Amino acid sequence: MTSKPPSLQTTPLTWLRKNLFHTWVDGLLTIVSSVFVVWVVTGLLTWVFTRAQWSVVSTNLPLFFVGRYPASQSWRLWIVLSLVVVTIAFSILSQRSKSSRQKLLSYGLLVVSFFLSLWLIGGSGILTRVGTNLWNGLLVTLLVAIVTIGLAFPLGVLLALGRQSALPIVKGFCTAYIELVRGLPLIGVLFMALVMLPLVLPSQVRLDRVVRAIAGLVLFNAAYLAENVRGGLQSVPSGQIEAAKALGLNTPLILWLIVLPQALRAVVPAIVGQFISLFKDTSLLALFALVELIGISRSILAQPQFLGRYVEVYLFTGLIYWIFCYSMSIVSRRLEVKK
């Protein structure tokens, strides 16, 4: 007769023993950290439900999201939002499908809906113009982040290719640019873009503040993206390039058809990571008088009836950033697992 193996079922008690009180040091750690957790959680909860005055958030909710964008025109932003949702849904669906025509169509839709959104937000012709000084809050944070990644990515790929180039002058220039920018703080690069850019352009050219800020962010992020892409380029086996050469492809075609598709696929998680830090970095624009999410929080805090409600405002702003960044980091982790 065979006896059953001993039961491995975890009762709450064995779970506690294994996970919280394995040794006496473990038990001590558990007690200390549970005291800490209880202290923090009770403190936070009593504050949230008794002392916090959430009216500063609830009355200013539209300000956080769209700032001083005229309320009579806000229907335009709703259209933009639905356009974004449709575009994202369509591109996810078409990524799954095999037909390359549908993929091409989704890229087309992306470009069209981007410019359509820009027109809807800014307005010209039949729509009343809304100046960029009225684009505030989350609206401008998202817009700046998306435009920046769209421009910095191709520039970063070019810089990475340049750094790998066989032409010494091109290589030297790209390496110098990448290393120079990566040694500088973003605030310095933004200072350069906002203060120096008007000085090095002809005086007739007047660039909008938002455009200059985007230029600074693009110049900065392109250098970091270039380093990410370079990692991907180095991960493509040289046999691939030799095989392509043996087939008689010329250098641009080898890059376009063989190297870049493999290299970029390998670095998608790193690029998402760079996008997350870019999204957080847009907050620095608040230091240059651009009223993005942090800028609008500061002007809300300057309202006389809400003076000193720092914790409520900063917690709420932090939550908005956190939701975006955390969901992107989950996407990046998924992509990493898929590989």
Partner 1 sequence: MIRLWRNVRFWRFAGQAIAVILMVAVLAFLGSNLDRNLRQLNIRFGFGFLRSQAGFTIGETPIAYQPSDNYTQALVIGLLNSLKVIITGIVAATIVGVTAGIARLSDNWLVRHLAIVYVEALRNMPLLLQLFFWYFAVFLSLPSPENGISLGLITFSNRGVGLLGTQLSPEFSALLAGLTIYTGTFIAEIVRGGIQSVPRGQWEAARSLGLAPPLVLRLVVLPQALRAIIPSLSNQYLNLAKNSSLAVAVGYPDLYAIASTTFNQTGRAVEVMILICATYLSISLIISLAMNFYNRSVQFVER
Cβ proximity to partner 1, 45 vs 195, nearer residue: 195
For the CB of residue 182, give the shortest distance to partner 1 in the complex, in Å: 8
What value does the CA radius of gyration of the chain take, rounded to a whole number of Å? Answer: 26
For the CB of residue 38, give the shortest distance to partner 1 in the complex, in Å: 11
Cβ proximity to partner 1, 118 vs 167, nearer residue: 167
Cβ proximity to partner 1, 201 vs 243, nearer residue: 201
Cβ proximity to partner 1, 78 vs 322, nearer residue: 322
Cβ proximity to partner 1, 129 vs 298, nearer residue: 298
In sequence order, the 6+-apart residues with CB closer than 8 A to the CB of 88 are: none
Structural tokens at position 110? 């992306």
For the CB of residue 318, give the shortest distance to partner 1 in the complex, in Å: 5
For the CB of residue 74, give the shortest distance to partner 1 in the complex, in Å: 26
Using an 8 Å Cβ cutoff, are 64 and 137 in contact? yes
Applying CB under 8 A, the residues found at the interface with partner 1 are 19-20, 22, 26, 29-30, 33-34, 36-37, 166-170, 173, 180, 182-188, 191-192, 195-196, 198-203, 276, 280-281, 283-284, 286-287, 294, 298, 308, 310-311, 314, 317-318, 321-322, 325-326, 329
Q: Which residues of 123-137 are buried (b: 16+ CB within 10 A; e: fewer)?
A: beeeeeebebebbbb
Using an 8 Å Cβ cutoff, are 145 and 73 in contact? no
For the CB of residue 321, give the shortest distance to partner 1 in the complex, in Å: 5
